[in-house]
Structure 1
Amino acid sequence: MLQGIYIGDKDSVRLPYIQGLKWETIGLKEWVEEGGWPIRGDVVLFSAQSPGVAREVLKGLKEFLRPPSIPCLALVSSSLLSHEWLFEQVKDFLVEPFSQEELCLRLKKAIREVYGLKEEGLIKKGDICVDLRSHTVTVKGRVIALSLKEYELLQVLITNAGKTFTRENLLNRIWGYDYFGGERTVDVHIRRLRAKLGEASSHIETVRGIGYKFKD
């Protein structure tokens, strides 16, 4: 399951249902006042009606928008169309008013382009196939029994193929910032995941001195 983050007023936008994607809403005022914070998301959608607000939102997201990055889409008013700097930092944008259908299609397109996610909620890389709807993993058509954390590790890596994650990144993203265990936890779960994937485990590459990445 991919995690979508919406930064904006809760009642201003009806977030579309997309298979394999769940939403979390962060209030725009709260985000701007706090200057942003580390988020655990795979796609970001934000609403901005003024250049100042747009700058503050993007400032808080800057660590997440550096390539390789998570897709970020902006919902803007027509008064922002002259601000080219905004559109250089987001993957796509919609100008209000827009239809629910257009928003849904733009989000699906961005997700497919970045993660290789098909509309039916499947991610396939080599012999590995991850079904985000049923949380199942198959290798060459054979179902692989994974623990929750093993599945979440594989999901993060495969949906961000080519991107290197530090052990700290993975620990915070999967176990949470309040987890008191050490980074060794990540290594243990990676080892178990590789053992279960068999030959397909060659896709999970150790980046020496840094962490791990999924190699196409």
Structure 2
Amino acid sequence: MIWCVEDDNSIRDIEIYTLKSTGFDARGFEDGDSFWKELVSTDTLPELVLMDIMLPGEDGITLLKKMREMPKTEDIPVIMATAKGMEFDKVQSLDTGADDYLVKPFGMMEMVSRIKAVLRRCSPKKKEHIYSNGDIHMNVDGHIVSIDGRVINLTFKEYEMLKLFLSNQGIVYTRDQLLSEIWGVDYFGETRTVDMHIKTLRQKLGESGKCIKTVRNVGYRMETFIE
């Protein structure tokens, strides 16, 4: 969702129309007061704000500064719309924390291109999902499990069980819970299936498999290795 803060109705309408016609959701605000009231009260924050500097009531620079000072809104990308020839406005916008600026009058396709570029630049970088315990390391993105750097081959169920234990170390799972989590709620097999998979998983993990503990009359848990 892109929020457009612009007091000129015709400009705001065409901004919203263009954004919607190019695949974005968009919403308009005619002044800073209505924008700020919605921003601080909503649970669904905008992906980006396109904001004119010259607004009735609080101006765009003041609103931008308030956004950057509030934890809830400090990371929302903002593109400021500045008047032609107003070099100070551009500098002040960037110094206050704007991610980009557009000089009026600007073309709608330029606006869309700038918005896409800022969203790409500000999107969080993908991180590898790594779980570990002692010598056991699991790269979820690569679907790779290794013991002390040596890759081991697990069946799908063994992998899912190990992932569950690694991501919930210290938590006890009953056999029925493991059946539900790994095999699905509609699985009607015997809990003996769980015991067999625990056995083969421990074998493949070698010495590291000792961290999977049997909790008598309850189920299994993974203890965290203490370095």
Q: What's the TM-score bracket when you normalise by the shorter of the two chains?
A: 0.3 to 0.5
Greater helix percent: which structure?
A: 2
TM-score scaled by length of structure 2: 0.45
Q: Which has the larger radius of gyration?
A: 2
TM-score scaled by length of structure 1: 0.47
Q: Which has the higher contact order (CA 8 A, sep 6+)?
A: 1
